[in-house]
Chain A
Amino acid sequence: MSFTIPIGPYHPALEEPFKLEVKCQGDIVQDAAMYVKFNFRGVEWLAQRRNYSQAIALVERVCGICSHLHTMTFCRAVEQLAGLPVPTRAQYIRVIIAELERLTSHALWAGIAAEVIGFQTMFMTCFDLRERLMDVLEIISGNRVHYAMNCIGGVNREISNPDAVSDIVKSIRQQIEEKLIPIFTTDRTIRARCIGIGVLTREEAIKWGVVGPVARASGIPVDIRRSAPYAAYNQLEFKVPVETSGDVFSRVVVRLLEMVESCRMIEQAFKQMPPGPIRGPEFVEVPPGETVARSEAPRGEAFYYVASDGSDVPRRVKIRTPTLVNMPVVKLMVLGANLADVPLINASIDPCYSCTSR
């Protein structure tokens, strides 16, 4: 018997509004349609009606998880247009916050994945880890979500107690290596729910231009931190974890290994960070022109286009978040899957509808 099941947009298992309509034959998904229009806030339109400094606070609210990444990418675009140098110390601070943000995001995702799988203990473990990470960000910035670290030409705040932060990151790395990775990769329930589920082939991943851990789990080593380094990433040694199976399990493994790399990068950054100013020269004006900037967000590449007409208000701000390019492939992943696996497959791309609709 064939039937259609609407999941969302208001659904107890979804944190954000999103609708997936799946057509099933028995328990097997035959087709799917997606709707992501429910969270439109007109951020681009609003950014084109505020000055550059005000727009920073606005783009920080595109996403509640990778807020630093958005302000950093926007500021980098404006800095490119204005020809503003950014001090080396500020570049390292940007990297440290970005990697802490990645850790927070991946810990959140791992917790949600564990919950969807039905592994409540692991959910609590991941969220406990996330709390510690958010505490670190609060120690540094005073905020747990919108850190307000970036300004045009540098950062707003020093990291006043680097040794304490570095020690906490070391203990977090230990917890990831000794608890998260062994349990997620060896537990029979997790393996049964994730291996061979929601496969995205390398060919399809290239065709649809997916990014971030979703691409890297399908054998594509795309990572903007490596292919087009920004901030202080070209000064750091790190691996880009790549898996080839393209299933949910590969996405789990890629994110876990990335968490270890993020810790390593933070530890390196604290050791290498030179003393000096955290802001460049006073930001005066942005000459007419256009530019693009992109950064590696926890979910993949984020992209900004900024155009200036010489006034203090950007003429055009375009934002492309990673979920917009990763979402369309969910339709491919769920085809032929068991209906019970659809929530996990959807969660495996770590979607952010707030970012997507913006």
Chain B
Amino acid sequence: MDKGEEILPQLSPGIPWEKRSDGWWLETQDTGVEKMARLMTEAEARLVTITAAGTPKGEFRIIYHWDLEGRMLNVVAMTDKGSIPSIAMIHPASDWMEREIHDYYAVRFTGLESAPLFLNPEDSPGFFLGSATGRKKEKEK
């Protein structure tokens, strides 16, 4: 049994993984991302990146892309009122990724205390990519 076969059932009891040509996908119903981060860290999985994708309801799908022995595992969580727990204390590689998403989309990663990475001090989070109209609209105001 490889690491993936051990990890997959533990991460999603009762929720099936979907196997696609580009890897394995899991849509979680809650924001148990800390448990995911612990399991992945123990298995020496590598966090490839985190993707934020907006939804019509104003929340964000937060997709954690992991590489486990060459296998791509994509775990999808949802923000709750624009927030999701940070996993940076458990898995340091997520630090810059979370900061980038916070700066660009104003998603709050609770527990993340790092300084802004990409923004100038006068720019508020979400200023660049958080709205459909972006910077031009902000300047018009």
What is the interface of chain A, defined by CB distance below 8 A to chain B? 35-37, 40, 42, 44-45, 80, 206-209, 211, 222, 227-228, 290-294, 301, 303, 305, 307, 315-316, 318, 320, 324-325, 327-328, 357
Q: How far is the CA of A315 from the CA of B53 in the complex (A)?
A: 9
Cβ of B95: which chain A residues have Cβ within 8 Å of it?
328
B70 within 8 A of A: yes
Decide: B48 and A320 in contact? CB cutoff 8 A. Answer: yes
Cβ of A206: which chain B residues have Cβ within 8 Å of it?
44, 46
Known A40-B118, A42-B128, A44-B129; contact A227-B70, beta-carbon cutoff 8 A:
yes
Chain B's nearest CB lies how many Å from the CB of A39?
10
Q: How far is the CA of A142 from the CA of B21 in the complex (A)?
A: 34
Chain B's nearest CB lies how many Å from the CB of A310?
15
Chain A's nearest CB lies how many Å from the CB of B100?
8
Cβ of B93: which chain A residues have Cβ within 8 Å of it?
207-209, 325, 328
* Residue of chain B at shortest CB distance from A228: B70
Decide: A320 and B49 in contact? CB cutoff 8 A. Answer: yes
Instruction: Please name 5 pairs of A and B residues whose Cβ atoms are closer than 8 Å in the assembled complex, sorted by A.
Output: A209-B48, A227-B69, A228-B72, A291-B22, A315-B53
Cβ of A209: which chain B residues have Cβ within 8 Å of it?
46-48, 93
B63 within 8 A of A: yes
Q: How far is the CA of A222 from the CA of B71 in the complex (A)?
A: 12
Known A208-B92, A228-B72; contact A318-B47, beta-carbon cutoff 8 A:
no
Sorted nearest first, the 10 A-B pairs with minimum C-beta distance are A227-B70, A209-B93, A320-B49, A37-B118, A318-B51, A209-B46, A305-B51, A316-B53, A291-B22, A292-B22
Decide: A36 and B134 in contact? CB cutoff 8 A. Answer: no
Cβ of A357: which chain B residues have Cβ within 8 Å of it?
118
* Residue of chain B at shortest CB distance from A324: B96
Decide: A328 and B129 in contact? CB cutoff 8 A. Answer: no
B29 within 8 A of A: no
Cβ of B108: which chain A residues have Cβ within 8 Å of it?
none
The one of B44, B53, B119 in contact with A37, judged by C-beta atoms closer than 8 angstroms, is B119
Report the tally of A-B residue pairs with Cβ distances under 8 A. Answer: 83
The one of B63, B96, B120 in contact with A327, judged by C-beta atoms closer than 8 angstroms, is B96
Chain A's nearest CB lies how many Å from the CB of B44?
6
Q: How far is the CA of A303 from the CA of B67 in the complex (A)?
A: 11
What is the interface of chain B, defined by CB distance below 8 A to chain A? 20-23, 44, 46-49, 51-54, 63, 65, 67, 69-70, 72, 74, 92-93, 95-97, 100, 117-120, 128-129, 134-135
In this complex, the member of B21, B54, B96 whose beta carbon has the largest number of chain A beta carbons within 10 angstroms is: B96
Known: A36-B118, A305-B65. 6 other contacts (CB 8 A): A42-B129, A292-B23, A305-B49, A305-B63, A318-B52, A325-B96
Cβ of B92: which chain A residues have Cβ within 8 Å of it?
207-208, 328
Cβ of A211: which chain B residues have Cβ within 8 Å of it?
46
Decide: A301 and B51 in contact? CB cutoff 8 A. Answer: no
Cβ of B128: which chain A residues have Cβ within 8 Å of it?
40, 42, 45
Q: How far is the CA of A293 from the CA of B74 in the complex (A)?
A: 12
Decide: A80 and B21 in contact? CB cutoff 8 A. Answer: yes
Cβ of B65: which chain A residues have Cβ within 8 Å of it?
292, 303, 305
Decide: B48 and A37 in contact? CB cutoff 8 A. Answer: no
Cβ of B100: which chain A residues have Cβ within 8 Å of it?
324
The one of B22, B46, B97, B134 in contact with A42, judged by C-beta atoms closer than 8 angstroms, is B134
Decide: B96 and A292 in contact? CB cutoff 8 A. Answer: no
Q: How far is the CA of A327 from the CA of B95 in the complex (A)?
A: 12
The one of A290, A294, A315, A328 in contact with B96, judged by C-beta atoms closer than 8 angstroms, is A328
Decide: A222 and B46 in contact? CB cutoff 8 A. Answer: yes
Cβ of B117: which chain A residues have Cβ within 8 Å of it?
35-37
Q: How far is the CA of A172 from the CA of B118 in the complex (A)?
A: 40
In this complex, the member of B48, B52, B54, B120 whose beta carbon has the largest number of chain A beta carbons within 10 angstroms is: B48
Chain A's nearest CB lies how many Å from the CB of B52?
8
Q: How far is the CA of A228 from the CA of B20 in the complex (A)?
A: 14
Decide: B49 and A318 in contact? CB cutoff 8 A. Answer: yes
Cβ of B72: which chain A residues have Cβ within 8 Å of it?
228, 292, 294
Chain B's nearest CB lies how many Å from the CB of A213?
16
Chain A's nearest CB lies how many Å from the CB of B11?
18
